[in-house]
Amino acid sequence: MKANLIGTLLLVAGLVGSSCLIPRDPGEADNVCVSCHGSPERDTTALLQAAPPYDLAGRSATSAPGVGAHQIHLTPSNNHAAVACSQCHLVPTATDTLGHTDTAAPAEFIPGALARHNDASPSYDPVTHSCSGTYCHMDADEGSGSAGPPVWTAPRAAACGSCHSLPPPPPHDSSAQCGDCHAPVMSDGLFIMAADLHVDGVVQLGGPGICNTCHGNADNAAPPVDTTGHSETSAAGVGAHQTHLLGGHNAAALGGDRTARAVRCEDCHLVPERSTDSGHNDSSLPAELNFAGLSSAFGATPAYDGTRCSNSYCHGAMFVNGDESGGSLTTPAWTTVDGSQVGCDRCHGAPPPGPAGTHTTLTTCSLCHLHVNDDYSFNDPDLHVNGVVD
């Protein structure tokens, strides 16, 4: 009992004379933090000098909880920026700041804004020495990386796939070509000169409004290529996108003249201002069809069953007053892009029967529709399939 008391008095006396209990002056040139932990001999910044090794007990092995992965976090790497001390601990302004040295080891884990990003709930298990629920290691989400929750005392290489799957699970698309969408950070699967933009709480894309970083090509944002890398029209993500945007189903894509007003993306889809907008990429494929505008003109109620479109104004399922148009192919197959769906009589009769059977039976369209030439080509295709009887 007496020996324990003497030992305690000696310990207190030692602490009183220690710089650990001297209030830290933020303006001091010397790094006071290394008086208790870290190494002043380390040839680096004051921040890295102050982080273990060594810990309060003088240990330097990473298997010691007081050491662990401190240096890996604080040292910038080729795939992440330095993690600030404040993301895991209370950083005092003086050594006697409340919450600093007034409790027994280990140091309290107080997750910062980055660790808690996206409503993550980080925690540290002092028995298994594992972190869980952190944004930084993605284990707060389903489909996390193959390595599982990180263990503080067993630092590991932060290879792609250890924190999140490659690619991450839906609603992320299934393409593994990371650089196609995250060009500021990655190229050909490798981090390039921008590690500070990774694990920073921001989804780094090519930029707002640059839709073809995920789908489309240099000409426009419509597939090909789709979000899964397909370029063939037989793929549902590709299909007849280009023939619609070029104006004239199939004809323009096959080298013919434009036959109609170009279909706009918003006629079939919700077009976001930013890639992260609600309703854009927050659900699994296929993309939602939000038929509006031209496709639903004159009261049409378009639908798509995964193979064919039906009840759309564009393909003549509805005429001016809701009557049938008389077309021979008003339910076109989305992935058929071979010219077989081209022809005046595919969308409406030639001539059409309506409205209410009152359309003339003359086949010389140019007599009434001045945007049509005598040979049935179009001198102004923007006035064809535009929602107005010109």
Residue 357 confidence (pLDDT) = 59
Classify 34 as helix, strand or coil: helix
Contact 209, 273 (CB under 8 A): yes
Cα 159 from Cα 191, distance rounded (Å): 11
Q: Which of 365, 387, 360 is nearest to 378 (CA)?
A: 365
Report pLDDT for 383: 86
At 266 the pLDDT is 87
Bridge partners, 372 (sequence order): 378
Q: What is the dihedral of CA 264, 227, 184, 200, to 10 degrees?
A: 110
For CA atoms 314, 316, 317, 319, the dihedral sign is positive
Let me know if 204 is exposed, middle or buried by CB neighbors in 10 A (0-12, 13-18, 19+). Answer: middle
Q: Which residues of the chain have pLDDT under 50?
A: 1-29, 140-143, 208, 249-255
The tokens describing 206, both together, are: 């090519």
List all residues 6 or more positions away from 155 whose beta carbon is below 8 Å from its beta carbon.
Answer: 62, 68, 69, 72
Supply φ then ψ for residue 5, to 5 degrees. -65, -45
Looking at residue 175, what is its pLDDT?
A: 66
Element containing residue 48 per DSSP (H, E): helix 46-50
Q: Which two tokens stand for residue 338?
A: 């071979």
Q: Whole-model pTM above 0.95? A: no
Beta bridge partners of 191: 186
pLDDT of amino acid 2: 33
Question: What are the φ and ψ backbone dihedral angles of 210, each rounded to 5 degrees?
Answer: -90, 80
Q: Which residue, among 360, 238, 182, 275, has the nearest Cα to 164 in the 3D structure?
A: 182
CB 275 within 8 A of CB 281: yes
pLDDT at 318: 63
Q: How far is CA 202 from CA 69, 115, 220, 226, 258, in A?
A: 24, 13, 26, 24, 42
CB atoms within 10 A of CB 171: 11
Q: 192-199: which pairs have CB atoms within 8 A and are 24 or more residues apart?
A: 195/76, 195/77, 195/78, 195/79, 195/80, 195/81, 196/76, 196/80, 196/81, 198/79, 198/80, 198/81, 199/79, 199/80, 199/81, 199/114, 199/136, 199/163
